[in-house]
Amino acid sequence: MSYDFFAIKIQAESRTSDDYFFGYFFGKINSNLEYKFICFPRKFVDRNKTPLEMPFAEYKNYLNEVYHHISSRSQEIVEMTKEFNVYFGLQIRKIGGLGAQGFRFSKMMEENNTDLIRTELNDLFRNWSSDIIIHLALDFSSFSQIYQQASGSANTKDMLSSFSKNRKDIASISDFYPLLDPMAGITIDKLEIGSVFWCTITSFVDEAQEIKLKKEYPDYFSEEGDNIVPFEGTIILKELTTDGRGVLVKIMISDWFFAKSIILRNMRILQNVKKVQNRFPKISEREFLIDPQKALTRSGTKTAANTAHFEAKKPIFDLATFFILLAIIALAFVIYFFFFYT
């Protein structure tokens, strides 16, 4: 089985207390790991639902919906969930942290060993409840499947066509697909006009432009004509879709080529240079517009930079200039007091 990400969906209940749990671990193979759990009294459980059978993206949304619904009815649930997640975090740190836990789960997932995973989970729960029933289900997904899950029921083609009908500036340009990073990426809301991200061209509208781009970047395309190495696209337009779930994004590549896409607001866009270099060895020696040393999250203020490449600002005064100014001020005071009192 070929996959990039795994998810462990968990439903558990204590035999010795009234506690019930929904949660998950989501990770990239031999890499990052994230988790989330909610804890609440058994009386709030909907026995007619079978959430573990849902695809991971649906399960994740279901978990959030359940928490928002029941936490609005009882502050106790907010406190229970908070206390349990603090406890769970401590247990994970005791056994080496999320990195070590992610590595162990990766090995267990490769073997599809649910018994070993259940034993690992029992160890994590043990100090909270000594007698617990754990139900779990495993999900495996590739980068493309993550994109499809993030899209959910949204029909991005319909969204795009609604813009293209009356917009020649949209209908007349090619389509692109953003590179995603489900673990550590950022959403399109955090990127501004002038920001840069990686993308691949999925279809061309103008044949002349297609020929020109492929001639200018021959290594970026396969013999079949597919874009196999990502471009850095600069955002020149962002518009919300009618339902607010997506954003129409228009980008510019190489100062003359333009492309469009609908990017859903729950997608996480890749911004890590090293990850791109690992996935696409051909670009390991390239100069990047995206600065690997700087974060791209914007503050939303007028002083925020509009490009993805920040320049470090030099201080107005260095240390030597400061001491010279201090000496001049001190001398002025001495002269003033000398003439005033004499």
Q: What is the pLDDT of residues 105-155, one digit of tens each?
A: 999 999 999 999 999 999 999 999 888 999 999 999 887 677 666 655 456
Judgement on whether residues 176 and 121 belong to the same structural domain of the protein: no
Contact 235, 250 (CB under 8 A): yes
Task: Give the range of the structural domain holding residue 239, as residue numbers without chain letter.
Answer: 155-283
Res. 272 pLDDT band, cuts 50 70 90: confident
Res. 306 pLDDT band, cuts 50 70 90: very low
3-class secondary structure per residue, 230-295: CEEEEEEEEEECCCCCEEEEEEEECCCEEEEEEEECCCCECCCHHHHHHHCHHHCCCCCCCCCCCC
In angstroms, the CA 263 to CA 198 distance is 13
Mean of the per-residue pLDDT values of the chain: 83
- Among residues 261, 283, 305, the one where a domain terminates is 283
Judgement on whether residues 169 and 56 belong to the same structural domain of the protein: no
Judgement on whether residues 85 and 181 belong to the same structural domain of the protein: no
Q: CA angle, corner 128, sides to 125 and 133, nearest 5?
A: 50
Q: Is the pLDDT of residue 298 over 90?
A: no
- Would you say residue 54 lies in a domain? yes
Map residue 318 onto helix, strand or coil.
coil
- Would you say residue 220 lies in a domain? yes
Judgement on whether residues 86 and 175 belong to the same structural domain of the protein: no
DSSP character at residue 40: E
Mean pLDDT for 204-208 is 95
pLDDT recorded at residue 341: 59
pLDDT recorded at residue 300: 38
pLDDT recorded at residue 168: 85
- Would you say residue 119 lies in a domain? yes
Report the length, in residues, of the chain.
342
DSSP character at residue 219: G
Contact 24, 88 (CB under 8 A): no
- Would you say residue 292 lies in a domain? no
Contact 190, 298 (CB under 8 A): yes
Contact 52, 135 (CB under 8 A): yes
Map residue 192 onto helix, strand or coil.
coil
Res. 16 pLDDT band, cuts 50 70 90: confident
Q: Is the pLDDT of residue 276 over 70?
A: yes
Q: For residue 156, count CB atoms less than 10 angstroms from its CB and return exposed for 0-12, middle for 13-18, buried for 19 or more.
A: middle
pLDDT recorded at residue 312: 35
In angstroms, the CA 268 to CA 34 distance is 14
The string of pLDDT tens digits covering residues 90-108 is: 999 999 999 999 999 999 9
Of 39-53, 119-133, 282-296, 310-324, give the range with the top mean pLDDT. 119-133
Q: For residue 221, count CB atoms less than 10 angstroms from its CB and return exposed for 0-12, middle for 13-18, buried for 19 or more.
A: middle
pLDDT recorded at residue 308: 35
- Among residues 251, 283, 315, the one where a domain terminates is 283
Q: Is the pLDDT of residue 39 over 60?
A: yes
Least confident of 54-58, 143-147, 221-225, 311-315: 311-315
In angstroms, the CA 176 to CA 160 distance is 12
- The CA-to-CA distance between both ends of the chain, in Å, stands at 94
Res. 296 pLDDT band, cuts 50 70 90: very low
pLDDT recorded at residue 111: 92
Q: Is the pLDDT of residue 159 over 90?
A: no
pLDDT recorded at residue 149: 65
Judgement on whether residues 85 and 107 belong to the same structural domain of the protein: yes
Judgement on whether residues 131 and 166 belong to the same structural domain of the protein: no
CB atoms within 10 A of CB 134: 16
Judgement on whether residues 135 and 160 belong to the same structural domain of the protein: no
Amino acid at position 229, single letter: V
- Among residues 92, 118, 141, the one where a domain terminates is 141
Mean pLDDT for 19-35 is 91
pLDDT recorded at residue 305: 33
pLDDT recorded at residue 307: 32
Count of structural domains within the chain: 2
261's tokens: 């896409």
Higher pLDDT, residue 199 or 302: 199
Judgement on whether residues 79 and 161 belong to the same structural domain of the protein: no
CA distances from 115 to 9, 26, 111, 118 (A): 14, 18, 11, 5
